[in-house]
Each structure stands twice: as structure tokens, then as C-alpha cells.
Chain A
Amino acid sequence: DGGITQSPKYLFRKEGQNVTLSCEQNLNHDAMYWYRQDPGQGLRLIYYSQIVNDFQKGDIAEGYSVSREKKESFPLTVTSAQKNPTAFYLCASSIDVRSTDTQYFGPGTRLTVL
């Protein structure tokens, strides 16, 4: 069963804590992305990676960090520096970063700061 998985589905964080969201894909895609979705706003790009061991900041990278040690995995860490982390986080992948490539999205992780 091919696709993108994200875990956990729900995550609660206390203020001042770092948390890591998992994203795994078995589609053999080179490119992976992290987005943040807030009510009434379009998806906003946090980070993307074109290839293993390489990643680029998106529009709202402050307070977040990523790694890409394996092609299949692109975890996102939400650090304590992120002032308003409560949101729905979506991971996606595509064959490449070309604008014509379809992005396939995971089911999302809802992060709530207590």
C-alpha cells in the first residue's frame, strides 16, 4: 500500500517543549514538503527538500527545523521558538520539485499547545 504516513495524528505540547512530527513515504519520491494549515488561510510552506541531505526554507521556517537523512523520511521539529505552533501540519511528496509534479499529501498531524 503506497503513500505518505504521518504520526501522530494528534499531538499535545506544553509551552517550552520541542516536538517532532514524523513523515514517511514509500512512493520513491525525491521531493518532500512540510506545510502548516490555519483556519481561513491557504497552506503555507515551512520547509522543502529536493534530495537527501538537502533542504530549503519556505515562507514560514522560523521556529521549525527539519532533517532529510533518508529518502523516505522528512521529520519536522517544532521548537520552543515557534510562538504560535497550534495548527494542522501536512507533509507532502512529489517526484521532483517541478511545478508540474503532483504533490501527494499525508493525513496530517494536529498539534495543540497547552
Chain B
Amino acid sequence: KNQVEQSPQSLIILEGKNCTLQCNYTVSPFSNLRWYKQDTGRGPVSLTIMTFSENTKSNGRYTATLDADTKQSSLHITASQLSDSASYICVVSARGGYQKVTFGTGTKLQVIP
């Protein structure tokens, strides 16, 4: 069964600090991995997408890494801002069409002043 597990479930950090969120998956055959940001009460917004051959992708202060051998990904947030407070969802797609998309449960990040 395809699974995506994220850790930690929740995280509180001080404004200006860095943090790293983890995603482990057992999706096969692997196609791509995305990180989404979801503000409370809003729809998710795509941050990055990585395919098998990519091991890092940046979007401003967000940097995602992928280790396809160990089936792990991380999302690193640099110099956090209050606006980074949100849930971050890891989404892994298998090759072969839509039905093979698996969503993680998300990490809820709170940045405090």
C-alpha cells in the first residue's frame, strides 16, 4: 500500500530561525514528489516538485531535497517569517495516472515572534 508519512506532526519555532520538515514514502513506481503549503482554512499551494533525477529544488526561502534511494524528502525553511505559519503537505505520485497520488497528513508549523 502506498503511504506518505510526515514528521513532526507539529512544530513551533521563533521568527528568524530555520527548520526542516521530513517526509518518508513507500510509493512505487515513483514519479514525483511535491510539497504544498496550506494556510488555515485555505486550499494548498504548490511550493516545489521533484522528479526521480532531481535531488534538490528551491523556491525562495524554501528548499526541498529528495533521496530516491532511501525514499525520503525534506523541506528546509530558512529565516522563518510569521507568514510561514501553515501546514506543509508532502504529496507523492506514482507513474501511471492520477489515481496513484498519495497525500501526507502534513506538518503544522507555527512561527512565533
Q: Interface residues, chain A, CB within 8 Å of chain B?
A: 4, 31, 33, 40-45, 48, 50, 56, 58, 88, 90, 92, 97-100, 102-108, 110
Contact = CB atoms under 8 A, between A and B. Distances in A.
Interface string B86-109: 000100011111111111111000
A107 B44 CA distance: 8
Interface residues of B, number: 27
A1 B67 CA distance: 37
A99 B42 contact: no
Interface of B: 4, 31-32, 34, 41-46, 49, 51, 89, 93-106
Contacts of A56: 99
B105 A48 contact: no
A99 B43 contact: no
